């Protein structure tokens, strides 16, 4: 995964009013922490931050912070936005070691066609959209895909069913459900109709067997 360079400036004032003034100048208040070092209050350019995060990796982008000439690899651990304008209000950067695993939430994308579900007029319900994983920074994937082709109505798929890329392991509960084959009203009607057809076919077989027995008995009487 590519790294993005963002210059961070120290010496910003803390507090709500200073942070507002800072944002009006086109900068975002931030804090850098982790790896046993003291938290460091900084600010970053809004445009630089937007460019670093406007990639396929999104919030999991690897960011090299240039803090007073010293460079530190990091990722965004938390990002606060304005509830209406969606402007970035504050950022938490986590220092990371390129040789150590870090836990991140990766977008989970469903692949394949659950034909046994769709043929029964059911629907696939994705109940987990991000998967927590452990990986070294260079191995962090942009997304994780999960095949739902074998999903059936009334069944579910678990985290342990996902084939993860090399160097990536699931960080959460392996038994957690991420997709379910739901029964809808049309599914229930489909199943009822299917059952009725099976029962009708079975009845025809029984009637045919009975007719054969009657014909055999009649032939035996004639002889």
Categorize the per-residue pLDDT at 120 as very low, low, confident or very high, splitting at 50, 70 and 90: confident
41 and 72 together in one domain: yes
Max CA separation in the chain (angstroms): 114
Domain final position from 57, 78, 96: 96
Condensed to tens digits (0 to 9), the pLDDT of residues 47-91 reads 999 999 888 888 899 999 999 888 999 999 999 888 888 888 999
Q: Of 29, 64, 21, 63, give the one whose Cα is nearest residue 45.
A: 29
Domain final position from 32, 64, 96: 96
Condensed to tens digits (0 to 9), the pLDDT of residues 173-197 reads 999 999 999 887 666 666 677 777 7
36 and 15 together in one domain: yes
Give the range of the structural domain holding residue 154, as residue numbers without chain letter: 103-183
118 and 159 together in one domain: yes
Q: Of 68, 73, 65, give the one whose Cα is nearest residue 97.
A: 73
- SS3 category, 195: helix
Q: Provide the pLDDT for residue 183.
A: 81
**CB–CB of 219/163 below 8 Å?**
no
What sign for the dihedral angle of Cα 189, 194, 195, 196? positive
137 and 166 together in one domain: yes
CB 125: neighbour CB atoms within 10 A?
13
**Given the DSSP bridges, would you call strands 62-67 and 27-34 parallel, antiparallel or unpaired?**
unpaired
Task: Output the domain CATH number for residue 32.
Answer: 2.40.240.10
| H or E element that contains 126 | strand 123-126
Q: Please give the C-alpha separations between residue 17 and each of 24, 49, 78, 79, 83, in angstroms, as whole numbers.
A: 11, 21, 21, 19, 18
Categorize the per-residue pLDDT at 122 as very low, low, confident or very high, splitting at 50, 70 and 90: confident
pTM: 0.74
User: Could you give the number of structural domains in the chain?
Assistant: 3
């Amino acid at each position: 995964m590519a790294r993005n360079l963002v210059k961070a400036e120290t010496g910003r004032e803390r507090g709500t009013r200073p942070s507002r003034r800072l944002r009006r100048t086109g900068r975002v208040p931030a804090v850098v922490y982790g790896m046993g070092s003291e938290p460091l209050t900084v600010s970053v350019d809004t445009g630089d931050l937007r460019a670093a995060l406007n990639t396929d990796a999104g919030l999991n982008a690897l960011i090299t912070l240039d803090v007073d000439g010293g460079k530190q690899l990091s990722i965004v651990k938390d990002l606060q936005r304005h509830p209406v304008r969606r402007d970035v209000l504050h950022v938490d950067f986590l220092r990371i070691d390129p040789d150590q695993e870090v836990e991140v939430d990766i977008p989970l994308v469903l692949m394949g066609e659950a034909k046994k579900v769709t043929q029964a007029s059911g629907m696939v319900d994705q109940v987990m959209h991000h998967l927590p994983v452990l990986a070294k920074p260079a191995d962090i994937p942009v997304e994780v895909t999960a095949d739902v082709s074998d999903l059936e109505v009334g069944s579910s798929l678990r985290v342990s069913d996902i084939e993860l890329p090399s160097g990536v392991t699931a960080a959460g509960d392996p038994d957690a459900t991420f997709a379910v084959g739901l029964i809808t009203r049309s599914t229930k009607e489909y199943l009822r109709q299917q059952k009725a057809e099976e029962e009708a076919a079975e009845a025809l077989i029984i009637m045919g067997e009975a007719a054969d027995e009657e014909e055999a008995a009649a032939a035996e009487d004639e002889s």
